[in-house]
């Protein structure tokens, strides 16, 4: 049996105990319950094997596994739109987009996340179930994950030295926040919004109109 954080609702998954909680915390988790204190942390190897067999995705942080909640229709539309636009623009090129089921391994190997979309440009970064050196990562914000995506996940993703751009995508409005790694220096924030705006990723020679990202969503029907 594997110990998990004793907060939120938990359920058995095979011989694992999984926390079902909407928020993910990239920090040292303190085991507070007698149950948690009596259990062994999950190894990376066991986590990867469990994910291969599981019907539910889980993120891994320091020996704990966190079940991922389902996403809304517009969330899925935006993720699909980003992926399809990238796939079209990157065909025959070095970089390759992945969505939903491709994990991102954080340096040190003590955390694995599932970004909404990631783009990998290093041919040697070719593990079957995860990538370690992406160039761009996208997360679509929702009320349930916004704090995690803007803080905890951001702190983790910033440890990935290959990462050039982290894109936070609003689900409710046609608005993107790009966090771009400085050369050298701090990360630089850029907000892209409005019907006529363009997502520009010179790191991959890619440009995507914002209306393409928000096709079929409620945000596409708003003014501005």
Higher pLDDT among residues 33 and 207, named by residue? 207
Q: Tell me the pLDDT band of 22, cut-offs 50, 70 and 90.
A: very low
pLDDT of residue 159: 95
Higher pLDDT among residues 148 and 211, named by residue? 211
Tell me which residue has tokens 């593990």: 127
The number of angstroms, rounded, from the C-alpha of 223 to the middle of its chain's C-alpha atoms is 29
Q: Tell me the pLDDT band of 143, cut-offs 50, 70 and 90.
A: confident
Residues sharing a CB contact under 8 Å with residue 58, sequence separation 6 or more, in sequence order: 18, 47, 50, 51, 65, 66, 67, 68
pLDDT of residue 217: 97
Q: Tell me the pLDDT band of 207, cut-offs 50, 70 and 90.
A: very high
Domains of the chain by residue range:
9-67, 73-221
Higher pLDDT among residues 144 and 43, named by residue? 43
Tens digits of residue pLDDT in 83-120? 999 999 999 999 999 998 999 999 999 999 999 999 99
Q: Where are the alpha helices (DSSP H) in 149-220?
A: 153-157, 210-213
Query: And the tokens for 101?
Result: 């089921």
CATH assignment, 73-221 = 3.90.1570.10
Q: Tell me the pLDDT band of 224, cut-offs 50, 70 and 90.
A: low
**CA–CA separation, 130 and 127 (whole Å):** 6
Residues sharing a CB contact under 8 Å with residue 4, sequence separation 6 or more, in sequence order: 10, 16, 17, 18, 19, 36, 64, 65, 66
Residue range 121-133: mean pLDDT, rounded: 97
pLDDT of residue 39: 60
Tens digits of residue pLDDT in 30-77? 333 333 434 679 999 999 999 999 989 999 999 999 998 888 999 999
pLDDT at 151 over 60: yes
pLDDT of residue 149: 75
């Amino acid at each position: 049996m594997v110990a998990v954080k004793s907060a939120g609702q938990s359920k058995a998954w095979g011989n694992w105990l999984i926390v079902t909680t909407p928020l993910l915390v990239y920090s040292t988790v303190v085991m507070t319950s007698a149950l948690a204190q009596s259990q062994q942390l999950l190894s990376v190897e066991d986590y990867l094997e469990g994910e291969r067999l599981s019907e539910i995705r889980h993120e891994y942080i320091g020996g704990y596994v966190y079940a991922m909640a389902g996403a809304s229709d517009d969330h899925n539309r935006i993720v699909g739109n980003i992926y399809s636009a990238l796939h079209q623009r990157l065909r025959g090129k070095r970089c390759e987009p992945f969505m939903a089921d491709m994990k991102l391994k954080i340096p040190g190997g003590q955390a694995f996340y599932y970004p909404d979309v990631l783009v990998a440009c290093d041919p040697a970064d070719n593990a079957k179930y995860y990538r370690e050196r992406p160039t761009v990562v996208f997360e679509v914000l929702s009320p349930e994950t916004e704090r995690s995506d803007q803080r905890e996940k951001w702190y983790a993703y910033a440890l990935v030295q290959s990462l050039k751009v982290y894109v936070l995508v609003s689900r409710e409005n046609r608005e993107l926040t790009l966090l771009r790694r400085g050369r050298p220096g701090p990360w630089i924030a850029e907000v892209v919004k409005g019907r006529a705006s363009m997502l520009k990723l010179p790191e991959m020679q890619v440009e995507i109109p914002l209306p393409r990202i928000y096709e079929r969503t409620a945000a596409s029907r708003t003014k501005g």
